[in-house]
Amino acid sequence: AAAVAGLLKGRQGIYTENERRLGTEIKLRFFKILLVFVICWLPNLINESLLFYLELQPDMNVDGLKNVRNAALITWFIMSILNPMQGFLSTLAFYGWTGCDFYLKFQRQ
């Protein structure tokens, strides 16, 4: 963050309005990308901690651990959806939703 601040300063060592806006935009993009990463990989941490807890039990198949097994199964399904979507969600976080308006050279001909 300090390197970004140093790059944004003008030659006089003061920030202009454009540099402040650019700095805010960079911070917001970084926050969005970090949020996508945490959302996509948090189920993995939860699932692994649940599986580790189940491994520590002498008998996993008791009825008292049924809720833990179900929670591990649910987080496993959530992982299977969110992990592959990380690339798409990161693209949305970085570029935003621009719709399907693509510019191709052969369209002008």
pLDDT tens digits, one per residue of 90-102: 988 888 877 555 5
Give me the torsion for CA of 32, 91, 49, 71, rounded to 10°: 100
Higher pLDDT, 14 or 36: 36
Give me the torsion for CA of 56, 61, 65, 71, rounded to 10°: 90
Model confidence at 18, pLDDT cuts 50, 70, 90, reads confident
User: How many whole angstroms separate alpha carbon 48 and alpha carbon 44?
Assistant: 6
**68 Cβ contact list (under 8 Å, min separation 6):** 50, 53, 54
> 41-92: per-residue pLDDT in tens?
999 999 999 999 999 998 888 888 999 999 999 999 999 999 999 999 998 8
Tokens of 73: 């199964």
CB 40 within 8 Å of CB 86: yes
Work out the percent of the chain whose per-residue pLDDT is above 90: 50
